[in-house]
Structure 1
Amino acid sequence: MSQTDRPDPHAPPTFGERVTRIIGAVAGDPIARAELDMARVLDELKALGAEPIEDLTPEEARRQPTPADAVSSLMAKFGIPPADADVTSHDVVYPGAGGDLPARVYHPPGAAGPRPLILYFRGGGWVFADLDDYDSSPRAIAARTDAVVVSADFRRAPEHKFPAAHEDAVAAYRWVVERATELGGDGERFAIVGESAGGNLAINVAIAARDQGLTAPKHLALIYPLAGVDMSTPSFRINEHARPLNKAIVGWLLGHALLGVDQKEDPRLDLVNRADLHGLPPTTLLTAEIDPLRSEGHMLADKLRGAGVAVNAVDFEGVAHGFFGMGDLVRHARSAQELIGRDLGQSLAPLERGARVGRAL
């Protein structure tokens, strides 16, 4: 197919797309509120054969087409090269709390030398997904921060129930801090980023660093984090049947991840009601309009501010849960990546010599 024959990903909606959106709006489908570029990714995911995850076993869910697959499919159809292909990566192994686990290290282009280190945790509800499914997010972060990014995997439920993933996440941070020089970092500037369930891991690692006397991260970025266990919030009601995440899927994930309902009271899960958030680093918190986790994301931002934490909270309209890594196709994803990159870059910028001496005095 020649360049001129390729479809245009930014073309206005077709007649069929307009009809579908009208029918969806009448029927109350949350995706009818989506920006066209977001809707096209979700339609492609459905066309690839994705089935409702809540009707599957964990093993079946792990074999399903993912939003990343939908993006890749559309990029191939549109002839779009990946924007961050100049970010290099290699796979390593780190000592998790229950044994060795995979991790992927991303290096931005440019001159070599010690850089800040960012630890990233992927989504997947602690049950499915892997480093490949969430490759685009840490790659985009590395490209926009000039930092080394380490995407650390963790044990998955139901084989390893809560708090296995949380214990692995803390072990990953210890390892990154201890091996900073080996990984290409300067050993002084660290940040933590998490997406969805990984956002929950990220803030809990920052809490553990505070409580266990570990090196404190300089910034925390939470991308539509799982911040609580209340499925009666306004966003759960309005997005009950959203895609790719909805009320039934969140219930399915918690059912597989937890040993029992009493674990919902653990402050590592119920952040908005039970966690102590004092003393955490400056935080960027992103939420999406078409996401059942939106309300508790807003509540978490308010609680962080109440604990004296500097928070930059930004809500993105017209996009669904999982949009962040879709920067090659979804314009709001590109904006979100730039925002995260800017905030992390500011917090991780090296101190001037005079500022460093002045602080020491």
Structure 2
Amino acid sequence: MRHAILTVGVLAAALATACHRNDNDAASTPPASSTMAGAPAAPSTMSPAANATPPKADAQMQAVLDQLAKLGGKPIETLTPDEARMQPSPADAVKALLESQGKPTTPEPVAKVEDRTIPGAGGPIPIRIYTPEGKGPMPVVLYIHGGGWVIANLDTYDASPRALANASGAIIVSTHYRQAPEHKFPAAHEDTLAAYKWVLANAAKLGGDAKKIAVVGESAGGNMAADIAIAARDQKLQAPVHQVLVYPVANNDMNSPSYVQNANAKPLNKPMMEWFVKHTFDNADQTADPRIAIAKRKDLAGVAPATIILAEIDPLRSDGEALADALKAAGVDATVQKYDGVTHEFFGMGAAVDKAKDAEKFAGAQLKKAFATP
């Protein structure tokens, strides 16, 4: 399941790495408007676009969505977490599409790929290290997958770190984390911060440059990557030189323009996000935690510069836009790149979607630029 959405990681994190590569298809009727916290929200002021017909996927993206539908997945919000983790993912759809087109389905080659475990807050954490061609010491990136804190794993999100390693020339350490509902919020945040501290302490042993470390996350993983940048400042850790946040969960407002516009989108939609929240938090009020509703924070000054990559057809698009505004208001350099005609989970689909390949290259270029800055 490259997908199990989500991340995608708690609702604001990318309910994805996120939130979400195990997304399903079947359209669902969106529930009454609500905040993540579940309380009725005051009517929000929507831009005309928010009430317009939902945007349409371009031909390449639609081909992936059509293939995902053919795989017969059930709506995640109707399943148990264990059942959801077994559903076909967007990554599966990409592979099936490539097969139907007679194209190779082998993963993008990287010079060296190694699976390991590292100590975590609640026990060993699986990681996968991708080392590209070249001579060290290389920059190092901690990559955090999506999945709404509930689904997905290192295999689901294998394509993104491969592409990032080659595009950035950096060693990518892709980390897993404890997932809900077995381990509820903030377990995943604790594990990913532990992984960042491990990278700081072990970069040189990996052939990396300990002074050039960045963080990247998708969906829920984007949320946790952003939180690492904040924790590094607050705990006086070495700061990442850059943070790349791909459609991050960054707010707890399910009445935002993009939630309204994409309430029934595929592969991520509003009912799925509500399902992630239900399984990740002890109660919906926890989504107001500043580690989730990052865009509402007023203390973002001094965190690492950010690149925020967004998809047009995504409930989380407004989260990323709001986070960019909050960072800029705090004096933090934030670059936003939005791709029209594509959906949540498009990043990492470079083998089948040209805009995904463009986004991967853009993220790599932004990282290279940050690593080259004295």
Please confirm whether the aligned pair reaches a TM-score higher than 0.5, indicating the same fold: yes
Q: Which amino acid aligns with 1:269?
A: I
Q: Which amino acid aligns with 1:227?
A: A
Match of 2:49? Answer: none
**3-state DSSP of counterpart to 2:135:** coil
Match of 1:175? Answer: 198
Match of 1:84? Answer: 108
- 1:95 corresponds to 2:124: no
- 1:257 corresponds to 2:289: no
Confirm or deny: 8 A CA contact 1:29 1:242 kept in the other structure: no
Match of 1:106? Answer: 130
Call closer, same or farther: CA 1:236–1:207 in 2, change over 3 Å.
same
Q: Pick from 321, 327, 342 the counterpart of residue 350 of structure 2.
A: 327
How do 1:216-295 residues align onto structure 2 when only pairs under 5 Å count?
216-274=239-297, 276-295=299-318
Q: Which amino acid aligns with 2:254?
A: M
Match of 1:162? Answer: 185
Match of 1:21? Answer: none
Q: Pick from 213, 237, 259 the counterpart of residue 214 of structure 1.
A: 237
Structure 2 unpaired stretches of 5+:
1-51
- Residue 198 of structure 1 deviates from its aligned partner by 0.2
Q: Which amino acid aligns with 1:349?
A: A
**3-state DSSP of counterpart to 2:238:** coil
Confirm or deny: 8 A CA contact 2:56 2:341 kept in the other structure: yes
- Residue 277 of structure 1 deviates from its aligned partner by 1.2
Match of 1:40? Answer: 63
**3-state DSSP of counterpart to 2:265:** coil
Confirm or deny: 8 A CA contact 1:84 1:143 kept in the other structure: no
Confirm or deny: 8 A CA contact 2:110 2:131 kept in the other structure: no
CA distance in 2, matches of 1:350, 1:183: 22
Higher RCO (CA < 8 A, seq sep 6+): 2
Structure 1 unpaired stretches of 5+:
1-27, 352-361
**3-state DSSP of counterpart to 1:33:** coil
Q: Which amino acid aligns with 1:257?
A: T
- Residue 243 of structure 1 deviates from its aligned partner by 0.5
Q: Which has the larger radius of gyration?
A: 1
Call closer, same or farther: CA 1:101–1:319 in 2, change over 3 Å.
same
CA distance in 2, matches of 1:51, 1:85: 32
Confirm or deny: 8 A CA contact 2:233 2:302 kept in the other structure: yes
Match of 1:119? Answer: 142
CA distance in 1, matches of 2:166, 2:240: 20
**3-state DSSP of counterpart to 1:157:** coil
> What number of residue pairs does the alignment pair up?
322
- 1:144 corresponds to 2:164: no
CA distance in 2, matches of 1:340, 1:182: 25
Match of 2:16? Answer: none
CA distance in 2, matches of 1:279, 1:231: 28
- Residue 338 of structure 1 deviates from its aligned partner by 1.1
Q: Deviations over 1:19-76 (max 9, x none)?
A: xxxxxxxxx984x600111011011111111111111110000000010111111122
Match of 2:47? Answer: none
Confirm or deny: 8 A CA contact 2:110 2:165 kept in the other structure: no
Call closer, same or farther: CA 1:83–1:310 in 2, change over 3 Å.
same
- Residue 87 of structure 1 deviates from its aligned partner by 4.1
CA distance in 2, matches of 1:203, 1:115: 23
- Residue 282 of structure 1 deviates from its aligned partner by 1.3
- Residue 295 of structure 1 deviates from its aligned partner by 1.1
TM value normalised by structure 1: 0.87
Runs of 4 or more, structure 1, over 6 Å off, are none
Q: Which amino acid aligns with 1:106?
A: Y
Identity rate, percent: 50
TM value normalised by structure 2: 0.84
Q: Deviations over 1:300-344 (max 9, x none)?
A: 101100011111101110000000010011011011011101110
CA distance in 2, matches of 1:201, 1:295: 17
Match of 1:68? Answer: 91
